[in-house]
Amino acid sequence: MRSVVVTGAAGFVGRAVLADAAARTGIRVTAVTHAGSAVVPLLMRDMSGRRSRPSTGLLRCVAADLDDPESLDGLVDGADAVIHLAHRLTGTTAELITTNVDGTAAVASRVQAAGVPRLVSLSTAAVYDAAAGRITPQTTPAPQSPTSQSRLRSDEIVLASGGTVVRPHLVHGPGDQWFLPRAMEITRKIGWIDGGHTRHSIICVAELARTLVDLALKDPEPAPLVLVGPHTPPTIREFLTQQAQPRGERLPAIDISLLSARHHPGGYGDSRWEHDLHLLSTETILTPIARTLRAGVRPRQRTSTQPLSNRSSPTLVTEPGPAACGSLPYRVAGILLPFDAQSLIKVVTLPTSVVDDAGWPEHRPRSTPHRGGQTTWPRDDGAATGA
């Protein structure tokens, strides 16, 4: 039985990660949330809707807070991997640093102290903001917003500790309350910005979740930086049109220039409007830089004993496959790990498994009253929000 700890487990990506892990045999999951066991019914209901068969894995929920490092004590002891999804997306600069930077440092230090073999942390392609276009692992990050700057600093902590950072661009699927709803709203209101011809690396949350669990638990050891996205990114027009079709919705046939969109009375002067227009109109493609593993190729056994800090940078790509999340037909086809033939593994879905509450190492975080006001992790795992 292998054990994985998931922070930010109640968030958008977190719930998908729990569903994927619960559908595999021999895995027990510690779901870290603010609410602890109180969130179990919600998670179980959500997970049952994401699985094709009943689960047989093991799940427990515990309460912890990145802003309270002592609540993390003992949390990762005995774990085989930690998938770190919890981050703050809004707040003051000081709050962002406390949660994203100091909180991640607290997680990483406990992972190292407990001797946990793997730490996989979810980041975002928003750290490349000023370098939008075709992005490779060698592209220099240039975050513009305080949120993205704090996420980059979080990434640097994970990389320095020997962990793996995963950067998607745009993520959609069940529970998405930002990207798809907002993109549809803007398109209905003003039409297609510059014809809707810009291409974007868009991935379904279920495929992202599968990738995160694979990186955490499969051999060989993953490389420090993984970019994840479709092999052939769709245009925003292709993507939204396919999303609208199952709903019987017809999007407007109107094209509008970016300049006209910026001055549209529906959003002129709103900083969020400008941010979202920039995101939709700026082509961002996570570009594979080397070979990828195709379906049907068996993994070779890893023989390298190279330390984590010496691993090379990979790119994960997807290729056409069965439809996922009711959108464009993309699925994860392969991942490039350290650059040698023995480092290629196939990303696959393992057999289903279940949920119980037995056999866990003891975790008793220090009991502290929950702070009032804004939740510490507004959307716990906030992947690829373009922040």
pLDDT of res. 46 = 55
Report the predicted TM-score, pTM, of the whole model to 2 decimal places: 0.76
**CATH number of the domain that residue 177 is part of:** 3.40.50.720
Q: Give CA separation, 210 vs 214, 218, 249, 267, 378, in Å.
A: 6, 11, 30, 37, 23
pLDDT, tens digit, for every residue of 233-265?
A: 999 999 999 999 988 888 999 999 999 999 998
Contact 30, 114 (CB under 8 A): no
Domain annotation covers residue 380: no
Which stretches does DSSP call E strand in 21-110?
27-33, 58-63, 81-84
**Is 122 among the domain residues?**
yes
Cβ neighbours, 10 Å, residue 230: 27
Q: Which pLDDT score is estimated for 38?
A: 56
Number of domains in the chain: 1
pLDDT at 380: 41
Q: Would residue 190 count as lying in a domain?
A: yes
Q: Give the count of alpha carbons within 13 A of 63, CB side only.
A: 13
Q: Is 363 inside a domain boundary? A: no
Residue 231 contacts residue 203 (beta carbons within 8 Å): no
Q: Dihedrals φ, ψ of 61, to 5°? A: -115, 135
Q: Is the separation of the CB atoms in 72 and 103 below 8 Å? A: no
Q: Which pLDDT score is estimated for 247?
A: 82
What is the tens place of the pLDDT at every residue in 151-178?
999 999 999 999 999 999 999 998 898 9
Does 379 reside within a domain? no
* Residue 231 in domain: yes
Low pLDDT (below 70) residues in the chain: 35-57, 130-132, 288-387
Model pLDDT, residue 79: 95
Answer whether residue 381 is part of any domain.
no
Structural domain that includes position 265: 2-343
Q: Following CA atoms 125, 127, 130, 133 in sequence, which dihedral angle do they give, to the nearest 10 degrees?
A: -20
- Those residues with Cβ within 8 angstroms of residue 129's Cβ, 6 or more apart along the chain or in another chain: 142, 143, 144, 145, 148
Give a yes or no: residue 292 inside a domain: yes
